[in-house]
Amino acid sequence: MRMIGPFPAMGRRAVDMGYSWAGMHHDWQQSDMTGLLVTAHMMTPYAPAMPHADVHIDSLLTWAVMQSLPAPVFFPSHSAAVMPCPLRLLWVDGAGHPLWASTPLLPAGDAIAAKEYWHKRYPSDRAELSNKRAANTSAGRWKEARVPMGVVTTSKLTGLCIGVEFEVHRLLSTITHIGKKTGTGYGRVAKWDVTPVGGLELSQVLSGHPVPVDSPIAENVTGYYKPSTGWTPPYWYAPWHSSCIVPSAQ
Amino acid sequence: MNNRCTVVLEAVEPVAHGDTLSGIDNSTNVRLFMRSAILYNGQGVRVPDLSENALRSVLFRRTLHDQLLRALEIGQGQLSQATLNLLYSGGSMASGAQAPTNEIELGHRVKDLYPSLDLLGGSVNDFILPRSRLRVTCWPLVREYASLISLLYPEYVAESEKVSIYDLLSEEVRTRGTGDESSGNQMLYQYEVLAAGARFLVELTFDEWTPEATRSAATCALQSWDGFFGGQNRQGRGRMVLRDNEGLPDANIYTEFVTGHAEAMKAGLLDGSLGTGRMLCV
């Protein structure tokens, strides 16, 4: 089995309870995996992160793995780490970063792309508490802002993956919000459905996911060449970006 | 641990849109509620809504920090602008900000000492604090949202089906005299209101690792809130009451935390270190 890494530091309590990243990775990769259709039933619009606008199933699962441990996880500052995931491991690059068998979640059925705004204001009505009462609210640090944000309203998001059905459902069920600005209610998921899909081909999964050109799998992917993009969680972490074949649909 | 609780906000006076500060409104236009896009009977529509960002500010951030400064006996002229802005508006990073290498550790130390910042997040001079613990979601209890509400809170569906958000929506027109020489110089101004009696389901979701004192701070905020939301408060608009708020965390845990850590909390706010030993808000 191919090993992945680097893993973050695990809290002592979790270690004492017998958790280990390598153990989780081993157990999941030895489990029966099946093709799965993942459905998120949405209650509020979600705000995709830009510029990598997709909400990836493998990102959600690795986040849920981290949250599900009985003690906090410690990341090195200014860096990222790899987490195990109950998905089929397709390839590992030279640095240990994994390519998981999953697609992004995309709207199923009707969807509205809209723009909403959030506002930031200097607390001028509490300025007397400050040692300086003057504040320029039209420029500089205290400038008030009206910030546009793209949101998508849809009743359902769906995606495909190949993984351990029970674990995928268990982990996704811990996720209540997806996308950006969850603190203000965006991306509220009412429930997750994870249903087996008979005869799901790997090519169907890859048709929705960037694949590094260094991977032999890339030969089987139809799409366009992108010099640098995210392909493994965390997708936003630019130092791990590489040249990929990106499916044409994206 | 239950990571979720709900309250219902019920308007006992009409609720008006509040933005009159940032200059983005043309004051000669009718002030409109924000609109949220939803799918209703398969059609995309934009319906009037309350901003959860505003709910976080008004119900939690402002209330908690007014209460905190009172408890710590911090008064006029004692805070830096950066600290004031962090407490009441979530903070802004300074120009040329460069995060220290131990920003995550510092951020967690700030959150450990100030449950209100742990709950709501913010940014200091050079970096953004680790993610806030609280997610606030709000749905008007109206027909347009009934099918969504049925997914999680079926007990509110029957109530929601009774009224459309557009039945609750109207405009108020006020006049403002601009002089005393004639009756013909009055200025009209208009704003949308949602009717008294309108109800809003507010869901609070806490992060999995939220400490007890942080959860408790949310309840403390709701109990201390002055009951006004939105605009035109000076003439009574936006007066609301909390309903169906059983099951909230115990508020005493937070007040006891503040009492027990008062000295360190006060020193950290006054010198801008926020208890870290490093000047984060100056």
The 10s digit of each residue's pLDDT in A218-235 is 988 889 999 999 999 999
Question: What sign has the CA pseudo-torsion A162, A168, A169, A175?
Answer: negative
The 10s digit of each residue's pLDDT in B95-130 is 999 999 888 889 999 999 999 999 999 999 999 999
Q: Cα(A81)–Cα(A104) distance, rounded to whole angstroms?
A: 20
> What pLDDT was estimated at residue A220?
82
The pTM of this model reads 0.89
Contact criterion met (CB < 8 Å) for B94 and A190? no
A10-14, A102-106, A118-122, B180-184: least confident range = B180-184
CA distance A7 to chain B (A): 17
Q: Identify the residue with better confidence: A54 or A94.
A: A94
**Most confident segment among A153-157, A200-204, B232-236:** A153-157
Q: DSSP letter for A221, please.
A: -
Q: Cα(B129)–Cα(B248) distance, rounded to whole angstroms?
A: 26
Q: Cα A148–A154–A158 angle (5° rounding)? A: 120
Show residues of chain A in contact with B74, CB under 8 Å. Answer: 129
The 10s digit of each residue's pLDDT in B1-60 is 679 999 999 999 999 987 654 444 445 566 778 888 899 988 888 899 999 999 999 999
> What pLDDT was estimated at residue B115?
98
Task: Assign A106 to helix, strand or coil.
Answer: strand
CA distance B182 to chain A (A): 34
Integer-rounded Cα radius of gyration of chain B: 21
Band (pLDDT 50/70/90 cuts) for residue A249 is low
Contact criterion met (CB < 8 Å) for B77 and A153? no
Show residues of chain A in contact with B205, CB under 8 Å. Answer: 176-177
> What pLDDT was estimated at residue A92?
96
Q: Cα(B191)–Cα(A131) distance, rounded to whole angstroms?
A: 36
Mutation choice for B interface testing from A44, A79, A175 by most B CBs within 10 A = A44
Interface list for A 71-90 with B (CB within 8 A):
72, 75, 77-78
CA distance B102 to chain A (A): 6
> What pLDDT was estimated at residue B141?
97
Nearest CA in chain B to A41: B151
Segment B170-197 mean pLDDT: 78
Q: By the CB < 8 Å criterion, does A26 face chain B?
A: no
Interface list for A 160-189 with B (CB within 8 A):
174, 176-177, 182-185, 188
Contact criterion met (CB < 8 Å) for B53 and A119? yes
Show residues of chain B in contact with A41, CB under 8 Å. Answer: 151
Which DSSP string do the residues of chain B spell out, in sequence order?
---EEEEEEEESS-EE----SSS-S-TTSPBPPEEEEEEETTEEEEEEE--HHHHIIIIIIHHHHHHHHHHTT--TT-B-HHHHHHHHH---PPTT----TTHHHHHHHHHHH-HHHHHH--B-SS-BPSPPSEEEEEEESSHHHHHHHHHH-GGGHHHHHT--HHHHEEEEEEEE---SS-GGGPEEEEEEEEPTT-EEEEEEEE-TT--HHHHHHHHHHHHH--SB-SB-GGGTTTBEEEES-TTPPPTHHHHHHHHHTHHHHHHHHHHS-TTSSS----
Segment B156-167 mean pLDDT: 96
Contact criterion met (CB < 8 Å) for B135 and A182? yes
Quick one: tokens of B68? 């905190």
The 10s digit of each residue's pLDDT in A20-50 is 999 999 999 999 999 999 999 999 999 987 6
A156-163/A145-154 β-pairing: unpaired
ipTM: 0.88
Q: By the CB < 8 Å criterion, does A122 face chain B?
A: yes
Show residues of chain B in contact with A130, CB under 8 Å. Answer: 77, 79-81, 83-84
Q: Could you say which of A72, A128, A144 has the minimum Cβ distance to residue B76? A: A128
> What pLDDT was estimated at residue B24?
46
Band (pLDDT 50/70/90 cuts) for residue A100 is very high
> What pLDDT was estimated at residue B23?
43
Q: Could you say which of A77, A131, A138 has the minimum Cβ distance to residue B103? A: A77
Show residues of chain B in contact with A44, CB under 8 Å. Answer: 36, 137, 148
Q: Could you say which of B102, B120, B209 has the minimum Cβ distance to residue A72? A: B209
The 10s digit of each residue's pLDDT in B237-252 is 999 999 988 889 999 9
Selection from B9, B32, B25 nearest residue B193 by Cα: B32
The 10s digit of each residue's pLDDT in A46-93 is 998 765 578 999 999 999 998 888 777 776 655 788 999 999 999 999
> What pLDDT was estimated at residue A68?
85
> What pLDDT was estimated at residue B75?
95
CA atoms within 13 A on the CB side of A89: 23
For residue B181, pLDDT beyond 90: no
List the domain boundaries for chain A.
Answer: 9-109+155-200, 112-151
Segment B160-172 mean pLDDT: 95
> What pLDDT was estimated at residue A77?
58
Q: Cα(A60)–Cα(B147) distance, rounded to whole angstroms?
A: 26
- Answer for the pair A113, A120: CB distance below 8 angstroms, yes or no: no
Interface A-B, measured as beta-carbon pairs within 8 A, has a size of: 140
Q: Cα(A188)–Cα(B219) distance, rounded to whole angstroms?
A: 22
Give me chain B's average pLDDT, please: 91
